[in-house]
């Protein structure tokens, strides 16, 4: 087969109906050499049905599938096995076979019916066993290896098939974190060498970390197809999984991260809450309130402050000032505007220096103010006593309620504001 200048896979309007149940409909996409495509989606979305169908193993009721420009229907079994290797979700490995024998069975598309495996086949099998780190297990029975080792033996078998296309149906299921990452890493290397890998995965974060592209299936059709950041959005996750989430780049890992939470009722939706914070003191407050769907603003945070990052991750309108600088007039006024507009303002357990003293002064403008106090103000005062004096004056205001962070969390969980 001539594979040059052709998409590896062309899927056009594929549908699968079993009995009167529509399992897949209008599935269309093209996969090019070198692409590492993660197929994600909730249970029952049709991922396995799709992969089986693409491999020509399940009945496709409509549409067309081409590999390197040729319809799969027109390709014989053995030739197709030289183009697509497929690792199914549950593989029964025959009793008594050694790991090497299992991997060698991946070479069958290259053997004539009368032929045994040749030296070259042994070399290839051993090469991929070394690649997936199971060469030392060659003579061991596959019944006597761990689940992770077995998955890597099966991956070596699939690789020994030396096909340009590789389909993997949840190869990481039941594997620990190390093995899961390893399998994704092996696939990434194979794709860098020009192979096309389609992998079904339930771990979205892992798929987003390694795959060059994701296809999100939901309800039997493609909901989103693109780069991980295009596909993994709160809106798509809500549509596909019915899940409330925030999607953001984790500053520690540099990877896409997802924070999921239980949906709050609609009661809190319209209440405006402003959170005065900084230096990481407001992050958990923003999270708690965001999870309850309050309409939030926050500030004045400093650029680079984790409170500013948390606000960004949760889509909170944040007033962010320059780092290590006294809060300027503009930011101070913005802060007061938000405080005046808010139904409730929360003042976090802030530490005060000259730079952020304006946050404390601004708190006097609140209609209703919840002051979070976990540490005595004297210990948080780096202004030579000014912050303490202001704070004491603030606590005398009738609109002020003082809670520690545990009481605050309980209050929000129990009844909100």
Residues 14-53 that bind ligand ATP (CB under 6 A): 18, 21, 23, 41, 43-49
- Residues 255-265 as b/e (b if ≥16 CB within 10 A, e otherwise) read ebbbbeeeebe
The smaller minimum CB distance to ligand ATP, of residues 18 and 130, is found at 18
Q: How far is the CB of 216 from ligand ATP (least distance, A)?
A: 11
Residues 49-108 that bind ligand ATP (CB under 6 A): 49
Distance CA 174, CA 205 (A): 16
**Is residue 137 within the footprint of ligand ATP (CB under 6 A)?**
no
Q: How far is the CB of 105 from ligand ATP (least distance, A)?
A: 25
Q: For the chain, how far is it from start to end, CA to CA, in angstroms?
A: 68
**Is residue 171 within the footprint of ligand ATP (CB under 6 A)?**
no
**Is residue 407 within the footprint of ligand ATP (CB under 6 A)?**
no
The smaller minimum CB distance to ligand ATP, of residues 173 and 272, is found at 173
Comparing CA positions, the residue from 142, 148, 217 lying closest to residue 186 is 148
E strands in 253-405? 256-261, 272-276, 295-302, 317-321, 344-347, 369-372, 400-403
Site size for ligand ATP (CB under 6 A): 11
Name the region of 180 (left: φ>0; alpha: ψ -120 to 50; beta: rest): alpha
**Is residue 199 within the footprint of ligand ATP (CB under 6 A)?**
no
Q: How far is the CB of 183 from ligand ATP (least distance, A)?
A: 17
- Range 265-268 contact pairs with CB under 8 angstroms and sequence separation of 24 or more: 265/293, 266/293, 267/416, 268/292, 268/293, 268/294, 268/416
Q: How far is the CB of 39 from ligand ATP (least distance, A)?
A: 8
The smaller minimum CB distance to ligand ATP, of residues 231 and 387, is found at 231
Q: How far is the CB of 169 from ligand ATP (least distance, A)?
A: 8
Beta-carbon contacts of 389 under 8 Å, excluding residues fewer than 6 positions away, are none
Q: How far is the CB of 139 from ligand ATP (least distance, A)?
A: 34
| Residues in contact with ligand ATP by the rule CB under 6 A | 18, 21, 23, 41, 43-49
């Amino acid at each position: 087969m001539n594979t040059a200048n052709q998409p590896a896979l062309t899927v056009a309007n594929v549908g699968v109906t079993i009995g009167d149940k529509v399992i897949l409909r209008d599935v269309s996409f093209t996969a090019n050499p070198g692409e590492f495509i993660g197929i994600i989606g909730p249970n029952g979305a049709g991922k396995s049905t799709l992969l089986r169908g693409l491999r020509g193993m399940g009945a496709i009721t409509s549409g067309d599938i081409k590999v390197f420009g040729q319809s799969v229907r027109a390709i014989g079994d053995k030739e197709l096995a030289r183009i697509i290797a497929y690792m199914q979700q549950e593989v029964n490995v025959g009793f008594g076979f050694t790991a090497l024998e299992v991997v060698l069975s991946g070479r069958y598309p290259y053997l004539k019916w009368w032929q045994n495996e040749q030296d070259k086949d042994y070399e290839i099998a051993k090469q991929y066993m070394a690649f997936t780190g199971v060469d030392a297990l060659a003579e061991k029975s596959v019944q006597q290896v761990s689940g992770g080792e077995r998955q890597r033996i099966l991956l070596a078998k699939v690789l020994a098939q030396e096909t340009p296309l590789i389909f993997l149906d949840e190869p990481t299921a039941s594997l620990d974190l190390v093995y899961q990452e390893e399998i994704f890493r092996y696939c990434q290397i194979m794709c860098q060498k020009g192979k096309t890998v389609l992998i079904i995965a339930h771990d979205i974060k892992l798929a987003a970390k390694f795959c060059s592209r994701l296809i999100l299936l939901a309800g039997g059709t493609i909901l989103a197809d693109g780069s991980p950041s295009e596909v993994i959005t709160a809106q798509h996750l809500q549509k596909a999984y019915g899940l409330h989430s925030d999607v953001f780049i984790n500053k520690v890992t540099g990877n896409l991260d997802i924070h999921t939470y239980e949906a709050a009722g609609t009661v809190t939706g319209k209440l405006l809450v402003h959170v005065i914070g900084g230096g990481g003191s407001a992050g958990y407050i923003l999270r708690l309130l965001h999870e309850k769907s309050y309409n939030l603003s926050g500030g004045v945070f400093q650029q680079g402050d984790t409170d500013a990052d948390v606000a960004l991750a949760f889509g909170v309108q944040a007033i962010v000032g320059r780092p290590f600088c006294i809060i300027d007039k503009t930011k101070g006024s913005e802060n007061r505007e938000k405080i005046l507009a808010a139904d409730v303002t929360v003042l976090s357990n802030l530490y005060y220096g000259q730079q952020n003293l304006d946050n404390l002064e601004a708190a006097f403008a609140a209609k209703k103010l919840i002051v979070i106090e976990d540490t005595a103000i004297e210990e948080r005062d780096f202004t030579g006593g000014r912050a303490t004096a202001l704070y004491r004056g603030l606590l005398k205001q009738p609109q002020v309620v003082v809670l520690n962070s545990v009481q605050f969390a309980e209050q929000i969980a129990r009844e909100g504001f």
